[in-house]
């Protein structure tokens, strides 16, 4: 069950990713919390984006804060990524703590 704290943290780290990886070539989805378009490249405007990343809130928070690496999350199947520019490892972790 989604908590208000989890929702706030997921949205916060997605907003940080938008700042660090501005663009619209990759859609990052963290249902049921939010989705953002990031990473420089060809802008996507209609239909299903050609590059999509999807994960759950707990996994997103783990990669955003450095509790797990992008590669580990992908290898475990906790993150699904398809299309070009979906390797977010250059932007992660997002936490500066």
Higher pLDDT, residue 79 or 1: 79
The total number of structural domains that make up the chain: 1
| CB contact at 8 A, 42 and 28 | no
The confidence score (pLDDT) of residue 97 equals 57
In a domain, 95, yes or no: no
Range of the domain at 20: 3-82
In a domain, 14, yes or no: yes
Average pLDDT for residues 37-66, to the nearest whole number? 88
In a domain, 59, yes or no: yes
Residue 44: DSSP 8-state: P
Q: What is the rounded distance in angstroms from the CA atom of residue 53 to the CA atom of residue 23?
A: 15
In a domain, 63, yes or no: yes
In a domain, 90, yes or no: no
pLDDT in tens, 2-51: 689 999 999 999 999 999 999 988 999 999 999 999 999 876 666 677 89
In a domain, 56, yes or no: yes
The confidence score (pLDDT) of residue 57 equals 97
CATH of residue 15: 3.30.1050.40
In a domain, 89, yes or no: no
């Amino acid at each position: 069950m989604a908590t208000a704290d989890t929702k706030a943290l997921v949205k916060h780290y997605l907003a940080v990713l938008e700042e660090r990886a501005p663009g619209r070539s990759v859609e990052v989805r963290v249902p049921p919390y939010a989705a953002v378009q990031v990473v420089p490249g060809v802008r996507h405007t209609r239909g299903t984006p050609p590059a999509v990343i999807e994960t759950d809130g707990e996994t997103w928070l783990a990669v955003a804060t450095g509790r797990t690496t992008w590669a580990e999350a992908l290898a475990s199947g906790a993150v699904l990524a398809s299309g070009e520019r979906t390797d977010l490892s250059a932007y992660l972790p997002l936490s500066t703590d």
